[in-house]
Amino acid sequence: MKALDFIALLLVVIGALNWGLIAFFSFDLVASLFGNMTAFSRIVYGLVGLAGLYAISFFAKDRYRDVE
């Protein structure tokens, strides 16, 4: 697994866990660690969003891997 793929997957998992905490416990882990909509928390949210967009490419990679 390439390093970029690993980092993207890690950020997607962090984002999913954060959304699970928000849904089940009304607890925003990113906001509690870095502040509510501070510059750093917005960067974290942005990186998680970009990682999610990048992770969409994993579907195409799996499809081409099966063909080879």
pLDDT digits (tens, 9 = 90+) for 17-37: 999 999 999 999 999 999 999
Structure confidence at residue 49 (pLDDT): 95
pTM of the model: 0.80
* pLDDT at residue 11 tops 60: yes
Arithmetic mean of pLDDT over the chain:
90
Closest CA to 45 of 20, 63, 25, 19: 19
CA angle, 2 then 57 then 37, to 5° = 90
| Distance from C-alpha of 40 to C-alpha of 30, rounded to nearest angstrom | 10
Structure confidence at residue 63 (pLDDT): 62
CB of 8 within 8 A of CB of 54? yes
Q: CB-hemisphere CA count at 13 Å for 2?
A: 7
Structure confidence at residue 59 (pLDDT): 85
* pLDDT at residue 68 tops 60: no
